[in-house]
Chains A and B, each alone.
Chain A
Amino acid sequence: MSELRIPGASPVAGPTAIQVARRREDVMIGDEIVRHRLASRVIHWVVAVFFFGALLTGMPIWSPVFGWMAYFFGGLSVCRWLHAWVGVAFAASVAVMFVLWMRDMMFDAHDRKFSVVEYMKFTGREDPDVGKYNAGQKFFFWMVAATGLVILLSGIVLWWPTYFSQTLRSISILLHDVCFIAFFAAIVGHIYLGTAAEPGTFHSMTRGTVTRAWAKLHHPRWYREVTGGRR
């Protein structure tokens, strides 16, 4: 049993960090800070599962080099059918995620100070005022939303090709492809930064909490806000 400390509220004894992390974000519990409540984590993993579903059923259609992936689903014909439905599920879950996270992902004045180069050098000098999400994370969020929309619309055209004009189909093939390539590259970066590159981050997406040290290092302004300026 750890102590729950909410800024401005009196300390409450009782629930564990995990229990708190189910419901509330941005609160301290003992030495941990709740970064993602249960709903956020669930939608993240729902999006992730549908993303990989769409990716693995789409790649064998994209190139015979990845034809082996089709066998996990029962062949290329199954992929052609499944890819469309998983794609719709992916788009729908991205829409829910968009609504849940949109407010946190609005760009603000602090984001202009964020230096991608300094960030990628891991110097810790990118911006002392990084809030709950840095400019790169916000950009990734908006990229997922925009790319998700384009890949859905072009996917609908490719789903029922006979109902659309040759021009629209041709454009959709290219857009679907460009979005896929962009998504693939971005997701590799996302997974890398969320696991090996920044230890502690993955825990926030599984159990919901991060350590004070992690918060201080990666999101100093958010850390100050959550702790109420305490060190």
Chain B
Amino acid sequence: MALQGLEIRRSSATLRGGGTGLRKLPTVAKYIDTSICIGCKACEVACQEWNDLPLAPTKQIGSYQTLPTMTANFWNLIQFREMDTKEYGFSWLMRKDQCMHCDEPGCLEACPAPGAIVQYVNGIVDVDPERCIGCGLCETGCPFDVPRYAQGTNKMAKCTLCVDRVSVGLEPACIKACPTGCLQFGDKSSIVEMAKHRVEQLKANGFEQAAYYDPPGVGGTGVITVLKHGDHPEWYGLPKDPTVPTTVSLWKRVLHPIGFVAMAAAVFGAIGHFMAFGPKKPTDSSRETGGEV
């Protein structure tokens, strides 16, 4: 956390915060091609190892999926789904689930602890456990159900896009481990080019609805997911048109200003009322007119 090499672009609950804005870096992104993921879980293991996360015993849940869902010490989960559709027949869908590193992160917007959630200048969204107060509001802000809370401390933990590796010029651990090349890492612009190219290939190979997932509702994500069935992201467990919940925006952008105005109005209203109408006191009492009590 708080990496010296990276400036902060945005910081939670911070007015006029962030870095100097001098050192600019291109936004980075992770490329996930679900069409050639073989579900080997090498990325899961690499993530656990690099981030030194203790693994709890797993249970057989009748699926090629390690855990039912991500946990506070399991940030990278290959989701597995069996699909049986009229158009495409039977197929297995694998999708790597982790923090999406949104350009406009809902978690960051909802977070009330100054600097607990930051977005570095290269677009990586990270949590500072030292500043996290464990309130859980980030979960309400996240459209992808990513934040998880550590048992005992209640602090939020999630994928950091291996910011400690990226900041020294390495690729994230999961990318490093992928044997099929379905995971790639680089500047977002080049990753998007790569995704476009792959989508064209998929279309030429009969997947006419192929598309890459970079939802504009959250300003785009730092994870570009290529989907064979691009018209049905929900088949992969991805929300179709994710946005930061309107309640969170309403709360921070509308209710907060109204609140400040109402609080000031109450205080100045009372002062103004006193000056206009004075105290209401009886005329024939010693105590109320300033005599002894």
Contacts and interface: CB of A to CB of B under 8 A. Distances in A.
B262 A184 contact: yes
A122 B278 contact: yes
- Give the interface size bracket for B toward A: 35 or more
A181 B259 contact: yes
A196 B279 contact: yes
B274 A197 contact: yes
A124 B280 CA distance: 8
A146 interface: no
Nearest to A171: B247
A213 interface: yes
Interface in A155-201: 158, 160-162, 166, 169-171, 173-174, 177-178, 180-181, 184-185, 188-189, 192, 196-200
B114 interface: yes
Given A161-B139, A162-B149, A173 B277 contact: no
A211 B288 CA distance: 9
Contacts of A62: 112, 256, 259
Contacts of A135: none
Contacts of A211: 282, 285, 287-288
B270 A192 contact: yes
B51 interface: no
A109 interface: no
A6 B111 CA distance: 59
A28 B287 CA distance: 17
A145 interface: no
B287 A200 contact: yes
B186 interface: no
Nearest to B274: A196
Given A171-B247, A177-B259, A188-B270, A76 B280 contact: no
Interface in B108-152: 112-114, 133-137, 139-140, 149
Interface of A is mostly: helix
Interface in A188-231: 188-189, 192, 196-200, 203, 211-214, 216-218
Nearest to B113: A76
**Which one of B247, B250, B258 has the greatest number of beta carbons of chain A within 10 Å?**
B247
A218 B282 CA distance: 9
A61 B133 CA distance: 10
Contacts of B280: 122, 124, 197-198, 217-218
A128 interface: no
Nearest to A185: B266
Contacts of A99: none
Interface stretch (A44-52, A63-71, A100-108): A63-71
Query: What are the 4 A-B residue pairs with the smallest beta carbon separation, nearest first?
Result: A213-B282, A161-B136, A170-B247, A213-B285
Given A162-B136, A214-B282, 14 more contacts: A64-B15, A76-B133, A77-B134, A161-B136, A166-B245, A173-B248, A174-B255, A181-B255, A185-B263, A196-B274, A197-B270, A197-B280, A199-B289, A218-B280
Interface of B: 13-15, 112-114, 133-137, 139-140, 149, 245, 247-248, 250-251, 255-256, 258-260, 262-263, 265-267, 269-270, 273-274, 277-285, 287-289, 293
17 contacts: A61-B112, A64-B13, A122-B278, A124-B280, A162-B149, A171-B247, A174-B251, A177-B259, A178-B255, A185-B263, A188-B269, A192-B273, A196-B279, A197-B279, A199-B281, A199-B289, A213-B284
